Amino acid sequence: MIVARKKASKISMALGKLGKLCRMIAGPWRPWALTILLLGLFAGGWYSVWKTAGPDVLASPEYWVTPDTISVTEPPIWIRTDIRTEVVRNASLDRPLSIMDDNLTERAARAFAMHPWVAKVHRVVKFHPSGLRVELEYRRPVCMVETTSRAELLPVDVQGIVLPGGDFSPVESRRYPRLAKIDSIPVGVVGESWGDGRVVGGAEIAGAFGSAWQELKLDRIVPSMNRNQGYTEACTYELFTRGGTRILWGHDPSTELPGEAPAVDKIARLKKYAAEHGTLEGHNGPQTIDARSAQTLQTWPLATREVISSPR
């Protein structure tokens, strides 16, 4: 009895709405009523057609993303790895993926963010016909780390993130600044931080030089902190030229002390000194250059402590 009453109530409501629509069609609201009626008929017809043909449409190739239809930002010249292929394989993205999947862009972004060469995924865009565009920011190597326990040189970026070493030949590795005498090894895997503050500081110094490193014929960066002081404490660094001149650099750019020249000033003074003297070496061979002061460079022969002022 109750069920019958509910059905009668629903029929009555439907008839009431239909009657209201008929009155609107016959009255001053006729244009609007006709529009609503036509839209309803169109939506109903479209739904009926889609329900029948939709699965076949979505199964067509233009709705499926394959590895060949995924494009990424062009990698810089120092990256030899096929990033797209590696990510697709490691994240199981090599199976057809539907662009109708609401989670597709998020899934792809997570997969590419895990690659050691990728610093940031800016965005992932789906487009039709089937395709995926991934906009990436890549990491840049700034120096090669020479450890006391391994013969290989390990590349790092300016934040001390360990990068894939297989992309560099021995000749290419020697073109980068060398951070020497590091007695630790990476605490994680490639793509993660080295875990040693001395590596981070040395990488920051190398990154500050850029192309000036080659111009000044510099060879290596050496941390002067004793290992027993702990990796997290700020340390000082020394730089050495290919000719043997020793440069007292001081702290890395993030831990410079009051009264210490900022890295940009140290580099500018070294470049000016080299331009005026033709080299960073002394008249009689290697020398010591103190670049730490905010006031001036100081130089003296490597074998003595006699200070020779160099006004810069």
Token look-up 């043909």 returns 53
Q: What is the pLDDT of residue 55?
A: 45
Residue type, 296: T
Q: Is the distance from CB of 179 to CB of 143 less than 8 angstroms?
A: yes
The residue among 312, 306, 275, 276 whose CA lies nearest residue 293 is 312
- pLDDT at residue 276 in the model: 94
The answer to whether 244 touches 280, Cβ cutoff 8 Å, is: no
- Between CA 68 and CA 71, with CA 69 as vertex, the angle to 5 degrees is 95
Q: What residue ranges do the domains of the chain occupy?
A: 62-138, 143-310
* Residues contacting residue 34 through CB under 8 Å, at least 6 positions apart: 25
**β-strand partners of 300:** 288
From first to last of its 312 residues, what are the pLDDT tens digits of the chain?
Answer: 554 455 545 545 654 555 555 555 555 655 655 565 555 544 444 445 434 444 444 444 565 777 788 899 999 999 999 998 898 888 776 566 777 677 888 988 999 999 999 999 999 988 777 788 999 999 999 999 999 887 789 999 999 999 999 899 989 998 999 999 999 999 999 999 999 999 999 999 999 999 999 999 999 999 986 544 444 457 899 999 999 999 999 999 999 999 999 999 999 999 999 999 999 999 888 999 999 998 889 999 986 554 444 444
Instruction: Provide the pLDDT for residue 16.
Output: 53
Q: 1.10.510, 2.60.410, 3.10.20, 3.30.110: which CATH number matches 62-138? A: 3.10.20
Which residues, in sequence order, are CB contacts of 223 under 8 Å at separation 6+? Answer: 179, 181, 182, 198, 201, 202, 235, 236, 237
Residue 42: the pLDDT is 44
